[in-house]
Structure 1
Amino acid sequence: MFHHTRIRLAATAAAAVAAIGLTACGTGSGSGDEIVDKPKANASAKADSGKEKEPAAEKSSAAPDVAKVGDTLALKGMESGSGLDVTVVKVVDNAKSGDEFFAPEDGNRWIGVQFQLVNTGTKVYSDAPDNSAKMTDDQGQQFGTTLAEISAGPSMSSDVRLKPGAKALGWVVFEVPKASKAATVTFAMDSGFAQQVGEWKL
């Protein structure tokens, strides 16, 4: 009987260790990421107001600023000297196809997001912005972009090259279930692999 109890305790301990290991793996996958959600204009306003007195700081802490449509986030890439100012300019839910032959699958819809990218770094930005963007709904489901033309305007190029100071503007499209409520859109440099991830609330 003592032997069985020891086996049971050992099995329980092993299960607990396995559970802890799984939890650690789950959180570890994104542990290197840094979410950037403070709009650039507000960040610089805070820096300027910091030279004055405390009331400005109190005001900002009472209502934390989180990026939304129209806001710009300053992001860095993996390489030293790479950086972008990324703006979510507009969002069109249930976007219409710009091509009569192509449409969302049954039960799905398209959401178009117009991004503006400005190279603030010292190196040429060369990437596929479609790979850098993701959308999450209010249930936590994530969606990548889909190659689609929408009537709202020209698509973002799949191969953007920007010298320092240059900018690009275009739409990226997400295909999501009709029942999904879009919650956030994210953008990270280096095809989504950069440590800094910009996040906008929709």
Structure 2
Amino acid sequence: MRRSRRLLVALALLAPTLLGFAPGGSGETISRAGSEPGARLDVTLTQVVDPATPAGPDNPTGPDDPDGPDRLVATRFRLENTGTTVYRDSPAPATHLLDADGRRFTGIDLPTTAGPAFPAAVTLDPGATAEGFVTFRIPADAEPAAVQFALDAGLADDVGQWSLPLP
């Protein structure tokens, strides 16, 4: 069973390359386009904090939290608007973490002690940049394998992918 899961994970991680998505190495900047004319970002995954600690008492995790899994992972991104139009989007739902078992987790707006989170909505004029963290709630036993990012709240066809772990 474990072998077939690993095969599925390998296929899931190769799928972006086979389908024309851009995989990246750790820390590599990947240029992504949105569905609107002139929408383009250079996206860089710069840091992964695993496990991450919630920033306040209103954000529980662990066995005492019946609604959430046991661990947080925070990923830091640098976004640069290289397009010709204003970028307005929410980075959290645009970001996904894939684990070694092929499960996919969507980013959430949850502050951690890793550093400042992106606001729920980011607005960047052409040439402007922003940095922030996107957080994921994952099971304690999950093994992060890759992170993906796409414009248009994650719905754009142009998806960037970074392999984990970062060095």
Could you tell me how far apart the structure 1 residues matched to 2:152 and 2:20 are? 14
8 Å CA contact 2:109–2:118 kept in 1: the answer is no
Structure 2 matches for 1:132-171, cutoff 5 A? 132-171=94-133
Q: 1:96 aligns with which of 41, 53, 57?
A: 53
Structure with greater proportional helix content: 1
Structure 2 matches for 1:39-58, cutoff 5 A? none
- TM-score between the two structures when normalised by the length of structure 2: 0.81
8 Å CA contact 1:184–1:199 kept in 2: the answer is yes
Structure ranking higher on relative contact order (CA contacts 8 Å, 6+ apart): 2
Larger radius of gyration: 1
Q: 1:184 aligns with which of 146, 151, 156?
A: 146
Amino acid in the other structure paired with 2:46: V
Stretches (4+) displaced over 3 A: none
Could you tell me how far apart the structure 2 residues matched to 1:181 and 1:101 are? 26
Q: How many residues align?
A: 142
Instruction: Verify: 1:35 aligned to 2:21, yes or no.
Output: yes
SS in structure 2 of the partner of residue 85 of structure 1: strand
Amino acid in the other structure paired with 1:36: A
Aligned match of 1:72:
29
SS in structure 2 of the partner of residue 102 of structure 1: coil
- TM-score between the two structures when normalised by the length of structure 1: 0.67
Q: Percent identity of the aligned residues?
A: 36
Could you tell me how far apart the structure 2 residues matched to 1:92 and 1:159 are? 22
Amino acid in the other structure paired with 1:103: P
* Superimposed CA distance per residue, residues 14-42 of structure 1 (whole angstroms, 9 cap, x where no aligned partner): xxxxxxxxxxxxxxxx9xx63111xxxxx
Structure with greater proportional strand content: 2
Instruction: Calculate the aligned-residue CA RMSD, in Å.
Output: 1.4
Give the CA deviation at 1:105. Answer: 4.1
Gaps (5+ residues) in structure 2?
1-15, 64-68
Amino acid in the other structure paired with 1:176: I
Could you tell me how far apart the structure 1 residues matched to 2:25 and 2:54 are? 25
8 Å CA contact 2:80–2:128 kept in 1: the answer is yes
SS in structure 1 of the partner of residue 153 of structure 2: helix
8 Å CA contact 1:132–1:189 kept in 2: the answer is yes
Gaps (5+ residues) in structure 1?
1-29, 38-66
Instruction: Verify: 1:85 aligned to 2:71, yes or no.
Output: no
Q: 2:91 aligns with which of 111, 116, 129?
A: 129
